[in-house]
């Protein structure tokens, strides 16, 4: 954790105020993830799930900010676009609506971010739409702290999941994999199979991880 903080902080040296603010936000996010990893929220799973939602929203905002920066450059290749100002603008303007309360509330140069009120409103709607569809998959497969939490609070379910994942990657899963590829009409072509087989295995693994996540939450009377 110390190395992660130092790595984040090094990017803020001799930089503008907003760069420092964005790095500080990243440090707070890293601290919050570390607290979850270390078990501070194992007895407060409702809060833990809310932290997971916040991490999903930040990741979604990062993608939106990146696309906003790219669209500004496409519209005007000579435009002075600073990704830091763009991303920080979305974070600060959506801090309250998206409950990003661990990040800084203000930025210094909002006026040069090229992010409008309409952009912010569109981003909020996009994040909420993404969350409604993608958050379960994010929690089960992409938010690393959740695996650590599952291992502690549901060791039997976690152990069973590991066995299922090993089976899914082994020879005994080949029939299931062939069926999935056949349903997609993707068998018989060596190049296509070479591309699709790893993807299909990942899909099977994701289905297992999501099923176990819902099982663990269900036993605890929680849902997403």
Catalytic residues: 16
In this structure, how many other beta carbons lie within 10 angstroms of the beta carbon of residue 92?
A: 23
Could you tell me if 18 and 84 are in contact, meaning their C-beta atoms sit under 8 angstroms apart? Answer: yes
Quickly tell me which residue has 């020879």 as its tokens.
Answer: 171
Q: What is the DSSP string of 35-65?
A: HHHTTTTTT-HHHHHHHHHHHHHHHHHHHHH
Gap between the Cα atoms of 109 and 77, Å rounded: 21
Contact assessment for residue 51 and residue 139, using Cβ atoms and an 8 Å cutoff: no
Q: Would you call 85 exposed, middle or buried from its count of C-beta atoms within 10 A (0-12, 13-18, 19+)?
A: buried
């Amino acid at each position: 954790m110390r190395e992660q903080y130092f790595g984040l902080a090094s990017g803020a040296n001799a930089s503008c105020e907003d760069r420092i603010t964005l790095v500080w936000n990243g440090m707070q996010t890293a601290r919050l993830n570390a607290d979850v990893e270390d078990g501070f929220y194992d007895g407060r799973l409702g809060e833990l799930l809310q932290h997971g939602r916040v991490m999903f929203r930040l990741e979604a905002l990062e993608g939106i900010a990146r696309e906003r920066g790219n669209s500004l450059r496409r519209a005007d290749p000579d435009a002075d676009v600073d990704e830091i100002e763009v991303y920080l603008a979305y974070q600060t303007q959506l801090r309250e609506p998206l409950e990003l309360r661990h990040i800084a509330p203000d930025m210094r140069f909002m006026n040069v971010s090229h992010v409008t009120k309409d952009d912010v409103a569109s981003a909020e709607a996009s994040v909420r739409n993404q969350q409604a569809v993608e958050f379960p998959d994010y929690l089960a497969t992409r938010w690393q702290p959740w695996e650590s939490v599952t291992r502690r609070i549901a060791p039997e379910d976690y152990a069973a999941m590991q066995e299922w994942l090993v089976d899914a990657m082994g020879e005994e899963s080949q029939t299931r994999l062939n069926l999935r590829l056949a349903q997609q009409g993707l068998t018989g072509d060596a190049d296509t199979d070479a591309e699709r087989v790893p993807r299909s295995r990942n899909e099977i693994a994701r289905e297992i991880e999501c099923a176990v996540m819902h099982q663990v939450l269900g036993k605890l009377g929680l849902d997403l």
